[in-house]
Structure 1
């Protein structure tokens, strides 16, 4: 029996639409992500547990875990019966890589159970294609950091899908999920098909400069460059009081504030724990929408998916 934990992630991190993603874990050691327990069996079996299991499709064939198993069997050209328990600890449509957590945990567990018949690169490609089933397009900015850890730059050239870039270990990432859900495909549909030339030039400048600042460890500069010209202007309307919340978070001392992935989760980057805690309390008392919403102070998870238990 094998148990794999796949951590939550922040797609885009403002400046890198579809090409940057960060793996995160709470500093309180809680598991913000999904877990998959797998063992050999005489026939395929899937059980779902966890706080958000009720959000999953009732029909097993619509569950992404079942689709992961089918894709894995096709890839190795063998139908392998297994028993899987999915602990769905991530809210669906949260903007924190919920589907990526399930996909990564399942495929890593399957691959490990059968002695790694699929190499890392091909497994990541398979993860991206399955993520495309959920979002409508193949993209790696959640599955890559969830699988590999750290901040991943999506290269997607030949056999190089992604590579990690340096990140500031001193940063604290305050993650807020307000308790509502946004469909990724619908959120993507809000974006325009064309952008003004000036927007494209500035976006390219910000993302290139962010990568440079990260590699040269100019982290204050990197933070200043984390501007979202592509998605936030169009997606912010989906998040109740987003502009007000962002203004308050910046006033509290955050270096950066933005939309996590497709939303509705929001992230803020702080240079010290006291500021992070101050922002955490501000959000808890003023801005959580539903009772099941949460705020977590996190650090970058540099490990990615891992065996636990």
Structure 2
């Protein structure tokens, strides 16, 4: 076979790269590795976000844009302000100043439930499963705009019967997907730590989010469930969702992240691809100390 024939044959072969990964890579291909760098199509755009507790400045992020449809990791040493930044963006805390726009809507004045309804949902480092409710009830409580939650409407069964049936069907599909279907009638408090992480992620999807924010999704998870969680996060990207997650495990970051933002002492110090970040002196200094090389000698 000639070189030209081989080239044609190669072009005819379908790409083995999933569509979500290909789109994310294309969107970030020419983005320079700099803190606060503009993105091609940001779903989240935050500027001048500051949160101080007395004299301690926990977060002071000048600018951050999160690319739509990509998986972005937010990393940094303990105490860098990552979870506080998450809390601010999702309405669980209030900044001293700053503003951010989510999917074209000003979100810094929204309360947490309004942020979730707008399409940005989150999970927590310490899971928030309602332990004395069943797994199914945990799922159903995550559905939005439930007619039956109103006092008068709740008294009229036909008004909410069809909606609840649809919510239950959706919950069953998600529980099957996250391999929790056999646990649907168990109390959430009976689940393992890893299963609670899966439940929290599944419940978040009851809202049909456009962006999912995961705070240390792998913390306290056994290796078998860790791989399952990794695959579920990848699936979110393939379904068109944006993912922003906090993580310390760089192996995981390399495996699933399209882009990495690095915080230290409350500030965003750099951004880039996983490979760029791993070789960045600012990141090495932030994790190990600026004088770690001298200390070793």
Q: Give the TM-score taking structure 2 as reference length.
A: 0.27
Q: Which has the higher helix share?
A: 2
Bigger-Rg structure (1/2): 2
